[in-house]
Amino acid sequence: DDVVRLLLEEGAPTEEADPTLSALLQAATKGLPDTVELLLRHGADHTVTTKKGDTALSILVEQNLIDAAVEMVTEYNASVPRCSRDRKKVQRARLLINLRVKQQQRERLL
């Protein structure tokens, strides 16, 4: 995380011409939600997809990093319906993210 932060502060790009080299996709794949958030804060494109059509949002859901996925949706306007070409992945993402948002709302009321 510190290395990524330093690179971003020095002006390193958040994206490469080849989407498969996307730092955001790599961070999501490696299960690094703090790095995902850091990259998003510095303008990483959350719509970039893997060759299979999955976005970082879909990957975070697959990794059960639901809080990070919720943050992508609420803070960075990531699209759940467009998170994957795989309809089952989209349905799972929608379900888990909606459940977590409701849980967070209940926790705020307590």
CA distance 79 to 106: 23
Task: Give the pLDDT of the chain (110 residues) as one tens digit per residue.
Answer: 676 666 566 565 656 556 666 889 999 999 999 999 989 988 889 999 998 999 999 999 999 999 999 999 999 999 999 999 999 999 999 999 999 999 999 999 98
- Alpha-carbon distance of 93 to 68, in angstroms, equals 12
Cβ 36 vs Cβ 68: under 8 Å: yes
Residue 95 is predicted with a pLDDT of: 95
| pLDDT at position 4 | 64
Say what percent of the chain tops pLDDT 70.
Answer: 81
Instruction: Give the domains, in start order, of the chain with CATH numbers.
Output: 2-109 (1.25.40.20)
